[in-house]
Amino acid sequence: MHTEALRIIAGFASIPASTLHPTPLACHHARVTDNERHARHIVRTLRDHGFVAYFAGGCVRDRLLNLEPKDFDVATNARAEVVQRVFSNTVPVGVQFGVVLVVNDGTPCEVATFRSDGVYFDGRHPASVHFSNAQEDARRRDFTINGMFYDPLTEEVIDYVGGREDLQAGVIRAIGDPYARFAEDRLRMLRAVRLAARLDFTITPDTFAAIHDLAPTIGDIAWERIGDEIIKILTGRGAKRAFELLSESRLLHVVLPEIETMRGVEQSPDFHPEGDVFVHTLLLLDKLDHPTETLALGALLHDVAKPMCQIHNAHRITFHGHCEKGAELAIAICQRLKRSRETWERVGYLVRNHLRLVSAPEMRTATLKRFLREEGIEELLELARLDALSSSGDLRPYQFCRQQLAALAPEQIAPPRLLSGHDLVALGLSPGPRFKEILGAVEDAQLEGQLHTREEALSWVKQQCDI
């Protein structure tokens, strides 16, 4: 083994089968992805050129947990300029930090030179780096379970930071001084929460204490980075537990204070036997299953205005206007988290309309058909279903809409228009605001089944407009 490795752990004897795959990593190759093949080729090529190279970081952690890594990163003692010479297709994403992407068939793999970091001034980037060896590189990383290396050619795990022990114990532990690690990159506080929730691990007391103490500083980093991490939390496994940890650590108070204010906001027990608005929202998050970004945000924010709209009446608690006000708040929050315009417009739609299904059975046929053809209807239906399951359990409005969608053909919900403005001009009508009203009334009659052809529509307009 290479001389710079002070501790090499081969095999998996110390890891129980309930936590890790009972056979060595190299035997878990029933499914080898293109990303892994690409990364293995990079390691082998660098070795052939006389360099040290390993898989590094999260991909090692996930393989030890018998999870399929999304990405494979390679760490090496080869400098970035050497990597660029060895491989024909590279992208220099951070040469000053020793980071290069090696691309194969459109698949990028991050290759980083072993390094130790100097002082951090911006809460994200070191003022200087010193290219070093695997041991020093491991000690600059965030958490022990992310600080291991794996040699895909010799099938060995190289662990300088106790990552395998912490995997076995199910804990998230900062490498070294947690205050120093979080000062280097404050986003690591959110990442600790996400990892703990996703893996169902516990954050160690010293690491959690540092997060709690440093939580007010999370706003010092770019909101786009915070927003990206929140989306990963919401769309990943364990969103409910993540938000509990965010609240306990005080991060939620800084990042999403509107969610924190939901705590203790009572609801009428006849509709919400589960408890207050915070409890209800977390129950809903717990039911998300690989949601889109917009559905996840809609679930988180659907009742965001209830704290400011709460009214205590004689027999019940009401929240009149919380859908409309909530849509405004949701859009503002999405903008703060630097989400795209398309995202915040859809989230605003979901929050504004999340109770419309309740009145669907009483809608006129034309109104119902227009409702069911709205662009965001599938996400709205799913939000309404999860909302009901997290409160009263009444799925009748949801089931009614589903039945209508199944019974109605697409051309019945959105039939071709029978008339246009040109047809109204040909009838002798003058263009103006009234055109929209007339065409809308024609479409209503069409959706109600009263009009079927262009001729019928022309005759109907002549009669209605006394032409």
Sort strands 53-56 and 73-76 into parallel, antiparallel or unpaired: antiparallel
Tell me: pLDDT of 24 over 80: no
Task: Identify the pLDDT of residue 122.
Answer: 56
In this structure, is residue 197 part of a structural domain?
no
Task: Identify the pLDDT of residue 16.
Answer: 36
28 and 114: one domain?
A: yes
115 and 142: one domain?
A: yes
343 and 447: one domain?
A: no
What CATH number does residue 55 fall under? 3.30.460.10
The residue-averaged pLDDT of 161-165 equals 96
Q: Which of 123, 150, 169 marks a domain boundary? A: 169
Mean pLDDT of the chain: 89
Whole-number percent of the chain with pLDDT over 70: 91
Q: Which of 396, 413, 430 marks a domain boundary? A: 413
445 and 345: one domain?
A: no
With cut-offs at 50, 70 and 90, classify the pLDDT of residue 14: very low
The residue-averaged pLDDT of 162-186 equals 96
The residue-averaged pLDDT of 163-186 equals 96
Residue 1's Cβ-count burial label (10 Å; 0-12, 13-18, 19+) is exposed
Separation of alpha carbons 202 and 363, rounded Å: 49
In this structure, is residue 307 part of a structural domain?
yes
325 and 433: one domain?
A: no
In this structure, is residue 142 part of a structural domain?
yes
In this structure, is residue 221 part of a structural domain?
no
406 and 451: one domain?
A: no
With cut-offs at 50, 70 and 90, classify the pLDDT of residue 26: very low
319 and 429: one domain?
A: no
Claim: this prediction has a pTM higher than 0.85: yes
Separation of alpha carbons 289 and 276, rounded Å: 23
Q: Which of 134, 169, 204 marks a domain boundary? A: 169
Measure Cα distances from 271 to 227, 303, 323, 374, 380 in Å: 32, 14, 16, 27, 20
72 and 92: one domain?
A: yes
The residue-averaged pLDDT of 157-163 equals 96
Tell me: pLDDT of 27 over 80: no
H-assigned helices in 358-453: 365-372, 377-389, 396-407, 410-413, 421-426, 433-447
In this structure, is residue 247 part of a structural domain?
no
Q: Which of 280-289, 308-317, 360-369, 403-412 has the lowest mean pLDDT?
A: 308-317
In this structure, is residue 184 part of a structural domain?
no
Concatenated DSSP letters of 154-185: TTEEE-SS-HHHHHHHTEE-BSS-HHHHHHH-
φ, ψ at 312 (rounded to 5°): -90, 115
15 and 107: one domain?
A: yes
Q: Which domain holds residue 119?
A: 8-169
337 and 441: one domain?
A: no
Concatenated DSSP letters of 301-330: HTTTTHHHH-EE-SS-EE-TTHHHHHHHHH
Which residues are CB-neighbours of 111 under 8 A, at least 6 positions away? 42, 73, 74, 75, 76, 78, 83, 99, 100, 101, 102
354 and 452: one domain?
A: no
How many domains does the chain fold into? 3
In this structure, is residue 372 part of a structural domain?
yes
In this structure, is residue 195 part of a structural domain?
no
More confident residue, 43 or 17: 43
13 and 130: one domain?
A: yes
The two most distant CA atoms of the chain are separated, in Å, by: 96
- Pair 355, 339: CB distance under 8 Å: no
Tell me: pLDDT of 170 over 70: yes
